[in-house]
Amino acid sequence: MNAFYRHSPAARGAFTLVELLVSVSLTALLMWGILNLYSSATRFSATVFTETELVGGARAVLDRMCQELGSMTPLDVGYLKITRDTVGADSSADSIQFVAPVGDNGALADVLYELRLDNGRYMLYRGIKTPATINGPAPPDRNAYAASPMGVAVDSMRILYIDDDTTDGTPVAPAAAYREWRDANLADGQVPRLPRSIIIELRLADAKGSVLLTITCGTYLGGSGI
């Protein structure tokens, strides 16, 4: 036998340099795919968590608004005013004002829910003014409220439905800029009464201002006598 005989790599069952390079490349490609999939899943999970948190917060705010509307005073004490300004073509209500008991002691106060432009986005604000404007005077100016943001970015706020056959004493301003129900608007002999129910829709917006989703809430108005 030749003393200088050597087994070939194939005979020893070893890998050639080309095979090693191909193996390393495939392994790296597989790891890159796994890491990319993990990164995408992490981003998706974070997005879902953020949206869930946003929707939960917005739902709590809208439920609070409907709860306070459900406990508002009748027209012989307070009022209801729905105003539309210029917040988006789809908005049918940029502010809602009424009188309702608030706080732990249940004292009457003027309550305001309003869309305001804040750092390029419309945010829902809630304002309180005490003592309440009661027994006939016009609702206070919206700048008179101590208002704070509710942490909800909104594309629009819409009144989807209002059960209103109280045409007496319910004036509509030019271009339907506002509707106002209060005792002082009534003629002699008319009975002050609020609409019976209302359904409000909030179209939530993300950080880019795109519509994220829509939530709604309905309630009977507390002072309507229902």
DSSP-assigned letters across all residues of 94-147: SEEEEEEEETTTTEEEEEEEEEEEETTEEEEEEEEESS---SSPPPPPGGGSEE
> What's the pTM?
0.70
Q: Where are the beta strands (DSSP E) in 24-94?
A: 79-83
Residue with token string 């073509």: 89
Is residue 191 within 8 Å of residue 170, measured between CB atoms?
A: no
Distance CA 109, CA 220 (A): 19
Give the list of residues 6+ apart from residue 207 with CB closer than 8 angstroms, or none.
Answer: 121, 153
Quick: pLDDT tens for 45-102.
555 545 666 677 788 889 999 999 999 888 778 888 888 876 555 567 889 999 999 9
Quick: pLDDT tens for 142-182.
999 989 998 888 888 888 888 766 544 444 443 456 678 77
